[in-house]
Amino acid sequence: MIVGADVGGTFTDLVVVEDGQVRTAKLPTAQSAEVSVSAGIEELVGSAHIDVFIHGTTVATNALLERKGARTLLITDEGFEDVIEIARQDRPSLYDPLEDRPTPLVDRTMRIGTVDMTPPSLPDVEAVAIALIDGHVEREAEQVLGDRVGTVLPNVPVSLSSVVSGEFREYERTSTTVLNAYLAPVVSSYLDAMDQELVQSGRVGSLSVMRSSGGLMDVAGASALPAAVLLSGPAGGVVAASEYARVLGKRRIVSFDMGGTSTDVCLILDGNIEVSHERLIDGYVCRLPSVGVNTVGAGGGSIAWIDAGGALRVGPRSAGSVPGPAGYGHGGTDPTVTDANIVLGRIRGDVLLGGRLRLDPDAAQAAVAGLAEQLGVTTFGAATGIIDIAEEIMAGAIRTVFVETGADVSGASLVAFGGAGGLHASSLARSLGLTSVVVPPFAGVLSAVGLLLAPPRSDAQRAIFVRDSNLGSVHQTARDLESDTRDALGRSGFENPTVTFSLDVRYVGQAHEISVPWDGETIGTIRSRFGALHRIRNGFERPDDPIEIVAVRAVATAKPALSVDEIVTGNAAHRRSDGRADVLVGSGSMSVPVVNRAELSAGSRIVGPAIVEDDGSTIFLHEGDRGAVHDCGAIEVTW
């Protein structure tokens, strides 16, 4: 029995796979995430023993967003105490003079400079970050300093920049190390409690946590490196989208995960998930590998509002799970994207959302009508306006991932999931010139399914500066990193992992790098591969200019707990539901068929306009859309 639990801002999704048979649950996320997880486990498996439990957690993200991390001390070289505040001297928003960087996570009084590697008197702290300016090469110096701090503060977690992010660029490395230290006590406490409740009690055989880069790590690893799980949730959905695209032979896709709070999109080319080695998380630099998701505040619960200029806006503020959209019937009064879909009939008023939540269509109607009155338009006009704006925000996120990578949009498919993904995927894909939409089975809880499909993974990186054809030091660094990553997985019980390498390469004098896949090839091959990638990303290459290698990266992966082929999606005979729904479109009200997805089998066809429902998600097919069910249970929509 394998269980995956993904905690989102609005819903907590759980998936149980036992002998290939799948059971799912979608519950509103409680204020304490562990409460939702425990409730879902109880509902799905009762007291049965779970062999493997995999968790996608938002505990690190929430602690950062809510500024509920630890009281952190930063130790660095004397004179460099303000590196995390000086940053890079760029502005967060070029044309907004009121926009500023977030307040540093370490107060100025808690930043200490040292000159002789002897820790000064240490104040009352809950976590310590050590980031020497040359920490990426002075690994032993940081370790010695860390050991000395540990003797004075034996129960306080210490984060070393050489371990957390062993790369050059002192600001980014310091920021990442501070993030890690700030989150360590919160994440460690949460995961230790989860481990005690599930593993130590004998209820679960093993517990793993999804890391931001799209793989799994054990509890000890996540507790020591919490910055690596900041994007734990979105990573699961990207992994699942990639796996279903592989099964269907799709080489160029965009994963499109529309939940209650936000929408996450990620580009996947030839089965390779775009991985970013640096990103901003709530304004703070985190230089650790993460799936290259672009997140926008446009989800089902995103609130529609009118700005000071009288324009209709959507998000980023969300109704969350409490009280949720007005249509949830839990006291919410603000109009949301979900309410607009209810008003337009795309979400039927008598459906049980997530298989359990009875909707209140009158409340949704009242919320959207109130907004319409302020705008001076009809309720239908306000509802369609909300949908149009939300879809334009999401379309912008998809355009961004193509522009940033230089990839061609033609021939690409949109893999849509999340509770609301299928409602908007077709119109989005059409507007962007994509070829088709794929909605995998279990779309409403696909991020939880992705946890089960993700491989155990260990990432390691190290700065190195090589400008000539002698790659001896590169090979030695790669061997060291290979040993580190193999050992990390070995400590978790995973043997014989596959290890792959990449090199960060740039033209001499450049300030940015491109990660180039490497399997021990010569400098000529590296140059050629780098030039091709540089042309894709930047539109040109300079084949005669010298290059330099500035970092070596290693990724070790082991076999995942489950594969798509092992998931049974059911083989019920195709039966069209007798239900119909009145949907509001531009030409007026239209009666469309409602199809129960559980009753569709491989080879089934659906012609739009139509609504396809399951317990966790809804698909809306526009007029001219044609849906076909594949053997793996995915529905592909073309037009």
Q: What CATH number should be reported for the domain holding residue 36?
A: 3.30.420
36 SS3 class: helix
Enclosing domain of residue 116: 68-183
120 SS3 class: coil
245 located within any domain: no
Tokens 């499109």 belong to 256
Beta strand pairing status for 252-258 and 413-417?
Answer: parallel
- For residues 391 and 387, give the distance between their C-alpha atoms in angstroms, rounded to a whole number: 6
Closest to 69 in 3D by CA, of 168, 207, 182 = 182
DSSP tag of 166:
-
pLDDT band at 575 (very low <50, low <70, confident <90, very high): very low
Report the number of distinct structural domains present in the chain: 3
Q: Per this entry, what is the length of the chain?
A: 639
The residue ranges of DSSP E strands in 126-261, in sequence order, are 127-130, 158-160, 204-210, 216-218, 252-258
Residues 6+ apart with CB under 8 A from 255: 237, 238, 241, 242, 264, 265, 266, 268, 415, 417
446 located within any domain: no
Question: By the 8 A CB rule, do 516 and 502 touch?
Answer: yes
Give per-residue pLDDT as tens, 207-238.
999 999 999 999 999 999 999 999 888 899 99
Instruction: Let me know whether 53 and 139 are in one domain.
Output: no
Instruction: Let me know whether 87 and 54 are in one domain.
Output: no
Closest to 436 in 3D by CA, of 244, 242, 627 = 627
621 located within any domain: no
Give per-residue pLDDT as tens, 142-198.
999 999 999 989 999 999 999 999 999 999 999 999 999 999 999 999 999 889 988
pLDDT of residue 574: 39
Helix axes 33-45, 170-195, angle to 10 degrees: 50
- For residues 531 and 528, give the distance between their C-alpha atoms in angstroms, rounded to a whole number: 5
Tokens 């306009």 belong to 609
- For residues 198 and 207, give the distance between their C-alpha atoms in angstroms, rounded to a whole number: 8
87 located within any domain: yes
- For residues 184 and 187, give the distance between their C-alpha atoms in angstroms, rounded to a whole number: 5
Instruction: Let me know whether 90 and 119 are in one domain.
Output: yes
Residues 6+ apart with CB under 8 A from 157: 127, 128, 181, 184, 185, 188, 224
∠ CA 530-454-249 to the nearest 5 degrees? 65
110 located within any domain: yes
Phi then psi for 534, rounded to 5 degrees? -65, -40
Instruction: Let me know whether 147 and 122 are in one domain.
Output: yes
Closest to 296 in 3D by CA, of 311, 317, 312 = 317
pLDDT band at 120 (very low <50, low <70, confident <90, very high): low
Question: By the 8 A CB rule, do 287 and 175 touch?
Answer: yes
Give per-residue pLDDT as tens, 412-455.
999 999 989 999 999 999 999 999 999 999 999 999 999 999 99
Instruction: Let me know whether 116 and 145 are in one domain.
Output: yes
Instruction: Let me know whether 468 and 547 are in one domain.
Output: yes
Give the number of other Cβ atoms within 10 Å of residue 174's Cβ.
Answer: 29
629 SS3 class: strand
222 located within any domain: yes
Instruction: Let me know whether 85 and 176 are in one domain.
Output: yes
pLDDT of 117 higher than 90: no
pLDDT band at 408 (very low <50, low <70, confident <90, very high): confident
pLDDT of 572 higher than 60: no
Instruction: Let me know whether 90 and 125 are in one domain.
Output: yes
Give the number of other Cβ atoms within 10 Å of residue 66's Cβ.
Answer: 8
* DSSP-assigned letters across all residues of 44-62: HHTT--EEEEEEE--HHHH
Q: How many CA atoms, within 13 angstroms, populate the side-chain half-sphere of residue 59? A: 27
327 located within any domain: no
- For residues 434 and 453, give the distance between their C-alpha atoms in angstroms, rounded to a whole number: 26
Q: Which of these three, 559, 594, 622, is where a domain ends?
A: 559
∠ CA 244-442-267 to the nearest 5 degrees? 40
38 SS3 class: helix
First to last CA, the chain: 40
pLDDT of residue 174: 97
Instruction: Let me know whether 55 and 197 are in one domain.
Output: yes
Residues 6+ apart with CB under 8 A from 354: 11, 26, 27, 419, 444, 615, 616
19 located within any domain: yes
Instruction: Let me know whether 99 and 206 are in one domain.
Output: no
Q: Which of these three, 544, 559, 574, is where a domain ends?
A: 559
* DSSP-assigned letters across all residues of 6-56: EE-SSEEEEEEEETTEEEEEEEEPPSSHHHHHHHHHHHHHTT--EEEEEEE
pLDDT of 243 higher than 50: yes
**CB burial class (10 A; 0-12, 13-18, 19+) of residue 588?**
exposed
pLDDT of residue 578: 55
pLDDT of residue 171: 95
Give per-residue pLDDT as tens, 38-56.
888 988 998 899 999 999 9
Q: Which of these three, 183, 209, 237, is where a domain ends?
A: 183
Instruction: Let me know whether 129 and 151 are in one domain.
Output: yes
Instruction: Let me know whether 41 and 86 are in one domain.
Output: no
Mean pLDDT, range 489-500, rounded to an integer = 91
Question: By the 8 A CB rule, do 3 and 14 touch?
Answer: yes
- For residues 276 and 286, give the distance between their C-alpha atoms in angstroms, rounded to a whole number: 10
pLDDT of 473 higher than 50: yes
pLDDT band at 141 (very low <50, low <70, confident <90, very high): very high
Closest to 172 in 3D by CA, of 36, 279, 39 = 279
